Amino acid sequence: MRRIVQAECLDYIRTLPEASFPLIYLDPPFNTRKTQQRRRIRAVADEQGSRRGFGGKRYRTEALEAPVYPDRYDDFVEFLRPRLEQAYRLLTPNGSLFVHLDYREVHYVKVLLDQIFGRKSFINEIIWAYDYGGRSKKRWPAKHDTLLWYAKHPQKYTFNYEAIDRIPYLAPKMAGPEKASRGKTPTDVWWMTIVPTSSKEKTGYPTQKPLRLLERIVRVHSNPGEVVLDFFAGSGTTGEAAARNGRGFLLVDQSPDAVAVMRRRLAAFEPEIIIPNAPHPVPQAR
């Protein structure tokens, strides 16, 4: 399965059969109480332009359309509750759920997940640390997100240790040449940059997560041929990570802008596109 669905996630996932997915990754809104938007521009050759480029050529900039969504919820936990209950229902007996949040709501959602899964099913709190962007002079700058990993069964879950990508030692001389050349496995703190502004990976979606982050989760917590579910799919990073590593994907998002981004991004993998509320809801394959 390689499928993109435009739909309100709760309405759609309630129609899916129980115990269908070995891995669910969710990057819901963070309840920042702001409007999320990423400014996008392009440079156009113009002798009167204000920008100077290679060889002295001049350019002007033009604003491009960019996805935008309000990130404000009066009761964020109650918004998530039925969706996380469905995630529990949809996981296979050896399945894992990853919920990606930041400091604003993660502690409340942790308590909610303990209620749904049971405290014994909490396996890891993973810190994704990055070092990019502005720095506050009034407090320690917030430069990390948190991923909560819960297993459907606390003793039976997929964890492909050999599939973990290795990272350099901080003190390679102390590790010795053999270990240094091999690298070490990460801990529960993952140092990775955000998607750089100039990267080919960049889609323009305001909350896009790095492909490397999702590839680590997909490779370690699922097996080739399995299908990964993401029902806050956004820019489709989960789908690309799954497809690049021999997995299928089911991506759900209610935003037409998000679906358009995913359709372009994942075109090489020929996903099925489903828009249930369209006048003629015929699945479209590219």
Domain-wise residue ranges, the chain: 2-33+73-123+147-154+193-285, 38-71
Query: Low-confidence residues of the chain, pLDDT below 70?
Result: 30, 32-46, 48-56, 59-73, 277-286
Rounded Cα–Cα distance for residues 190 and 228 (Å): 21
Please give the pLDDT value at position 215.
Answer: 98
**Count of C-beta atoms within a 10 Å radius of residue 240:** 23
Whether pTM > 0.85 for this model: the answer is no
What pLDDT shows up at residue 177?
92
Residue 93 contacts residue 152 (beta carbons within 8 Å): yes
Looking up tokens 């901080």 gives 170
Give the span between the Cα atoms of 194 and 203, in whole angstroms.
13
Q: What is the pLDDT of residue 286?
A: 31
How would DSSP label each residue in 16-30?
A: SPSS-EEEEEE----
Q: What is the dihedral of CA 257, 103, 94, 250, to 10 degrees?
A: 0
Predicted pLDDT of residue 34: 57
CATH 3.40.50.150 fits 2-33+73-123+147-154+193-285, yes or no: yes
Residue 149: how many other CB atoms lie within 10 Å: 20
User: What DSSP state is assigned to residue 4?
Assistant: E
**pLDDT (0 to 100) of residue 52:** 66
- The pLDDT value recorded for residue 74 is 78
